[in-house]
Amino acid sequence: MNTAARKILFVSTSVTLFTMAIIYYSFFIGRDIAERYTPLIDATMEIKLEATMAHLWFEEIMSGDQTVSIENIWANLDQSEWYAKAMLDGGTNNEGTFLALNNPDLRSQIEDTIDGIHNFRQIAKKRWASQSVSGVGSSIEQQFDQAFLKFNHSADSVESALQKAKAEDLQAFKFIQGLLLVLVLLLGVVIASLLLRYNAKRLKTINVLKLSDENVSTSQKQLLNVINGAKLGYWDWWYKTGEHVVNDEWLAILGLARQNITNHISDWAELIHPDDEDLMKKTVHAHILSGKNYVAEFRMKHADGRWVWIQGSGSVIEYEEGTHDPLRLCGTHQDITERKHAELREKSRTHVLELLTSGDLLPVILEAVVQGVEQECPEMLCSILLLDDEGKHLLSGAAPSLPDFFSTAINGIEIGPGVGCCGTAAYTNERVIVEDIQHDSSWASFKELTSKAKLRACWSEPIRSTQGKVLGTFSIYHHEINTPTKANITMIEQAASLASIAIEKIQANVNLKASDEQMQLVLAGANLGFWDWNIVTGKVYRNERWATMLGYTHNELEHTTNQWADFVHHEDREKAWQSINDVLEGRSNSHSLEYRMLTKEGGFRWVHDQANVMQRHSDGKPLRMSGIHSDITNRKIAEEKIKLAASVFSHAGEGIIITDDKATIIDVNQAFTKITGFSREEAIGSNPQILQSGRQSTEFYAEMWQALKKVGYWSGEVWNRRKNGEVYAVMQTISAVRDVNGMTTHYVSLGNDITLMKEHQYQLEHIAHYDILTNLPNRVLLADRLSQAMLQCSRYKQSLAVVFLDLDGFKHVNDTYGHDVGDELLIALSVRMKAALRENDSLARIGGDEFVAVLADLTTVEDCEPVLERLLLAASERVVIDGIVLNISASIGVTLYPQDNGDADLLMRHADQAMYVAKESGKNRYHFFDTAQDDAVKVQRESLEAIRNALDNRQFILHYQPKVNMKLGTVTGVEALIRWQHPERGLINPLEFLPLIENNPMSIELGEWVIDTVLTQISDWQKMGPNLSVSISVNIAAVQLQQADFIDKLKTLLDAHPDVEPSYLELEVLETSALEDVHHISTIMNACMALGVGFALDDFGTGYSSLTYLRRLPVSLIKIDQSFVLDMLSDADDLAIVEGVITLAKLFKRKVIAEGVETIEHGTALLQLGCELAQGHGIARPMPASDIPSWIINWEPDDNWKSCCK
């Protein structure tokens, strides 16, 4: 070997070693990229997977699933956070080693992801804490879903950034690979050029460039070894000839054998997916034109028929000299199917989760699950069938790629063994793999259908809930016989899991929506008021119940917080605001407070206010707060009652016993121990029978328990026995306490010791029904006995007598000897009278000296007369008390029933009336009630009522009858005569009504009215002229005259008419009235005359007055009664009386006037007897006041009277 050859060999060897070092270094960089990025990309997927599982399990728990613990969710979130921190700082677990990232942008994005995890965890915990008030569409749920999506997008961004960084590093790596290849090729050219000097025959040999063991250099073999070690497919393409050489890994990626390829570029072109052909042609063409390296992702068909994702890269490494046309290209293929599938699955999963979050319908979501798998593996046709509510049939869920006739045919198939893949999988809850449908017995019933649909293989996975319950099936169909790979099994499991999540999420949403609607109904049904406060605007929305709770309508409310504060009781306002502010400022998680609110009527209602902040700004500032009001007024009242009940139990005076449902005592109060003598310890565990006295029968207690079981309540008197054996009376009330199901759980007994009360009751009853002095029945007991006796009479057609007895002269005994003697007399007489009665008769003292006897069982009226005689005798026999001999008698009134057919009260009154008749008839006798007389009394009472009504309604008027001097022919005055102007009967004569009120107070009232009216009339006439200044006489009743205040009242009337001289008023008093008490009447007359009022003695001659009495009466005028005047012309006796009266009047120097002058002859005779003054119809009839003035002016005396006087 010459020196040149050695140099060439040395250079070649050095270059080769240098090239191998560079290639090894590039291989190291490639492996470093794989070791750095692959775990990090996997970690981002784990971050999203752990958080996604936490999100989905959280929804399961919120929908009521108790198979998953909330702690598992927090653990998922912690694991997700661990992966994120491991990406930042490095870490190792059973999945590999994570190298810390140095890229600042990636670190920033991962830190954002960690913040997203923290935020998602915080909101999840808030939602967990407030789950009782959140629901579908609530603010907290929206925040929850938004936080998850934000976090998920952040994690996606990290993954995309990692993929991008990895791609950029790989691109740089591939660029280096290209440079190395170029360098190796250049070195080969250099070596070849050197070798050309020594072997010209081999200059044009191109086989040295082929990748065969025989024709490749050592450096090329080493380069191929490096490429094979990195599992990269290597290709070498002679552009002009189309020759295409690949390595074994290139073939392995596509499952090809070397003997099955032509080593032509068509091998590559024919295997490219039709959808990617244009892309690759354009990419390679652009690369050739630009001379730049290319990197592209495309699909190539695997030998088993599936499509493999390839990341291809290449570059031109040799150009034709002169034209610069490409001669040769080389590059690599990398199988990225798994990565692309992972990306598609993640994209599909994210899309499904977004659909779930946005609230799409279940068919839409299930179709998205199916399409996600079909996009990943286009050769697969997927189907989801859902198990019906009965768990017996499968219903179509989603199958967009299957023929419609096939989906329709299998819709509703009954599950069971051997019912295809789906029916069997749903029935057994196990995966079913059928590689060849046509030769599988479970598809026997469907072979014609599957043949028509061109389906040959089916894999079916049960869709299970988190509890393991079958929800449906996820199935994959193939047009060719197909056996699933491990990746296929993983894919179908993940798809079934995702479908399960969607189904359960939708069902949870449906349940939550139903729950929310139910909650709204509950709010209305539970009478809950709702309020929602927009803190930013200050507006407050309140529902109708919030308003009506306080007595307002919804339209009457102002939607402000100020109005709420005004409604809150001033004592509660500060603590209410404080509670709300604590929530707003984050010092408390929720607002829950009981306070009082002012109602529209001015009262107060207790409310329980519960609220939470439903929305906050990103800086934590509260934006919205919502809550509910419940009216707890009744509960507050009940609580007060409970407190009171507890106090009552401890301090009540009644003995309280609480037993269980078997009547075993479980508690007693202090009053019980005091009443019974049994201690609390002795009573607890015993039966209330320890208190039984034996006075009540077994039937009594049986009825008590029957009432308790039937109505839950019993009350009555019970005789019990104390511990010391003493029997006592108890007013006992027993109540059954029942649970919500109506079952009795306890009995509560309240017992009040009424022994002393019963003794007092007996005494009170005796006092209430018996006279204390005589021990005879009183009016109350008498009324009861009389009513009972009247019923007996009606039943047996008998009679009874009511005997009213009043003692004659008893008042004198009291006044003379004192009440003590009177009481002793009543006691003695009551004993005697009771002895005078028959056995079945009753005697009662009804007050004072009045007694009533009821005589029953009478057949005739005569049957009661012997009893009445004995009663009179018993009352009239003398009684000696303390040496005092007393003699009285009795007046008895009797009425008979049913002859006197009235009630008990009316019989008593009738007997009382009859007694007064007996007393007026002379006393010491009995008188039977006269119904005719009673009718007269009724008429009198009705008349008095009518007179009262007439007086109140001013129906009385005055007429005036002139009085004249027949001798002088002058009018000396007029007499006022009352008339009743009845609205129906017309003018009524005073004789029809004055006698009825003779001794009635109305006579006084009527007399005062007459005097007042007369004084007014005098004033009116005097104002008409001097000729009408006449006096008016008024008849006055003795009862009015004898009133103690008569003079004062007369003076008051006169003072009321100051323009009237008292002398113009003359009072006429009847002779009979004046003689009853001459001294008293004389005194009154003198007092009246002192006032200037004159007196006349009316109807003189009708009484029995003596001359002494006549002389003592200070009257100025005597009126001869008309009864004498009328008959004086025909009756000598009457003429003598008239003459005698005239003579007496002259002797006593009194004026005299004659009444009843009916004719001229009467006047003439009177003038002849010396009587000049007269009045009567012969002169003038009584007339209204309006007629008097004209009458006075026009009146002239009769000529006979004039001639007689001459």
Q: Where are the domains of the chain?
A: 3-171, 233-335, 360-514, 526-630, 652-753, 770-929, 942-1205
Judged against a pLDDT cut of 90, whether residue 17 lies above it is answered with no
Single-letter amino acid code for the residue at 908: M
- DSSP assigned state of 264: B
Give the pair of three-digit tokens for residue 382: 């997927």
Tally Cβ neighbours within 10 Å of residue 529.
Answer: 21
Mutual angle of helices 139-196 and 218-229, in 10-degree steps: 170
Judged against a pLDDT cut of 80, whether residue 68 lies above it is answered with no
Judged against a pLDDT cut of 90, whether residue 1048 lies above it is answered with yes
CB 654 within 8 A of CB 732: no
**pLDDT at position 1185:** 94
Which carries the bigger pLDDT value, residue 290 or residue 423?
423
Query: How much of the chain, in percent, has pLDDT values that exceed 90?
Result: 43
**pLDDT at position 304:** 84
pLDDT band at 133; cut points 50, 70, 90: very low
**pLDDT at position 342:** 78
CB 411 within 8 A of CB 396: yes
Identify the weakest region by mean pLDDT among 485-489, 517-521, 659-663, 705-709.
Answer: 517-521
Report the predicted TM-score, pTM, of the whole model to 2 decimal places: 0.35
Query: Which residues, in sequence order, are CB contacts of 714 under 8 Å at separation 6+?
Result: 704, 707, 708, 733, 734
**pLDDT at position 32:** 65
- Considering only the C-alpha atoms of the chain, give the largest distance between any 2 of them, rounded to a whole number of Å: 222
Identify the weakest region by mean pLDDT among 285-299, 375-389, 393-407.
Answer: 285-299
User: Mean of the pLDDT values across residues 481-505?
Assistant: 88
564-573, pLDDT tens digit by residue?
999 999 999 9
Give how far Cα 337 sits from Cα of 452, 702, 1050, 1122, Å: 32, 90, 137, 154
Give how far Cα 559 sits from Cα of 393, 574, 622, 628, Å: 55, 20, 19, 15
Tally Cβ neighbours within 10 Å of residue 848.
Answer: 13
User: Mean of the pLDDT values across residues 261-273?
Assistant: 87
Query: How much of the chain, in percent, has pLDDT values that exceed 70?
Result: 86
What are the backbone angles phi and psi of residue 1076, rounded to the nearest 5°? -65, -40
Judged against a pLDDT cut of 50, whether residue 207 lies above it is answered with no
**pLDDT at position 204:** 38
Beta strands per DSSP E along 42-110:
91-93, 96-98
pLDDT band at 209; cut points 50, 70, 90: very low
1003-1039, pLDDT tens digit by residue?
999 999 999 999 999 999 999 987 788 999 999 988 8
Tell me which range, 180-184, 652-656, 704-708, 1184-1188, is most confidently predicted by mean pLDDT.
1184-1188
pLDDT band at 285; cut points 50, 70, 90: confident
Single-letter amino acid code for the residue at 19: T
Element (H, E) at 925: strand 925-928
Q: 770-929 maps to which CATH number?
A: 3.30.70.270
693-731, pLDDT tens digit by residue?
988 998 999 999 999 888 889 999 999 999 999 999 999
User: Mean of the pLDDT values across residues 854-875?
Assistant: 92
Judged against a pLDDT cut of 50, whether residue 132 lies above it is answered with no
H helix and E strand count, the chain? 39, 40
Selection from 705, 709, 751 nearest residue 730 by Cα: 751
Judged against a pLDDT cut of 60, whether residue 95 lies above it is answered with no
User: Mean of the pLDDT values across residues 1068-1090?
Assistant: 80
User: Mean of the pLDDT values across residues 1112-1120?
Assistant: 87
Judged against a pLDDT cut of 70, whether residue 26 lies above it is answered with no
Tally Cβ neighbours within 10 Å of residue 18.
Answer: 14
1125-1148, pLDDT tens digit by residue?
999 999 998 999 999 889 888 888
Architecture of domain 3-171: Up-down Bundle (1.20)
Query: Which residues, in sequence order, are CB contacts of 33 under 8 Å at separation 6+?
Result: 166, 169, 170, 173
Q: What is the mean pLDDT of the chain?
A: 84
**pLDDT at position 1165:** 93
**pLDDT at position 524:** 66
Cis peptide before 1058 (omega within 30 of 0): no
Q: Which CATH class is domain 652-753?
A: alpha beta
Architecture of domain 233-335: 2-Layer Sandwich (3.30)
Torsion of CA 708, 713, 718, 720, to 10 degrees: 70
Residue in the block written with tokens 């997977």: 49
**pLDDT at position 119:** 83
Q: Which CATH class is domain 942-1205?
A: alpha beta
Sign of torsion over alpha carbons 994, 999, 1000, 1003: positive
**pLDDT at position 83:** 76
Which carries the bigger pLDDT value, residue 1133 or residue 648?
1133
Architecture of domain 526-630: 2-Layer Sandwich (3.30)
Answer whether 526-630 and 652-753 agree in fold.
yes
CB 16 within 8 A of CB 160: no
User: Mean of the pLDDT values across residues 59-79?
Assistant: 71
CATH 3.30.450.40 fits 360-514, yes or no: yes
Burial environment of residue 321 by CB neighbours within 10 A (0 to 12, 13 to 18, 19 or more): exposed
User: Mean of the pLDDT values across residues 195-219?
Assistant: 44
Single-letter amino acid code for the residue at 763: Q
Measured distance CA(127)–CA(1204) in Å, rounded: 135
1163-1198, pLDDT tens digit by residue?
999 999 999 999 999 999 999 999 999 999 999 999
Which carries the bigger pLDDT value, residue 453 or residue 135?
453
